[in-house]
Structure 1
Amino acid sequence: MEENKETLEELFQSLDDVVEKLEEGETSLEESFRLYQKGMEMLKSCNDKIDAVEKQVLILEENGETHEF
């Protein structure tokens, strides 16, 4: 499986574009379903990226030591 190299900002913009197309109501049922699937895949990519960042966040303790979030 190819790893998604888009940044979170790019993914959010792409999701916004998908939502706008769906809200227009000008698409066929098949196209709406394809856009929905694409949006759900992008949402999963966003969640995966956010989870990865959360795991990298370090907490600085009072004594100057750090540990993972």
Structure 2
Amino acid sequence: MALTNKIFQQSEIESFEFNHQVLKNCSFIYCKIKGKSFMNSMFRDCKFIRCTFVDCNFQFVVFQESGLWM
């Protein structure tokens, strides 16, 4: 099942497990994402605004139509 239309904030990112997830129309705003694994996940039409990724695992991740990277 896909997670849709979610706006992730810093506190939610720290406790959320991103492995093997399908995220649609989600937004990540002003986040520092450190040491997270996104393995085997798909991001469809997601937005990443002012995010920093540090030591994250992006093996086998699919970004479809995720057009807004600021």
Short-chain TM bin: under 0.3
The structure with more strand, counted as a fraction of residues? 2
Bigger radius of gyration: 1
The structure with more helix, counted as a fraction of residues? 1
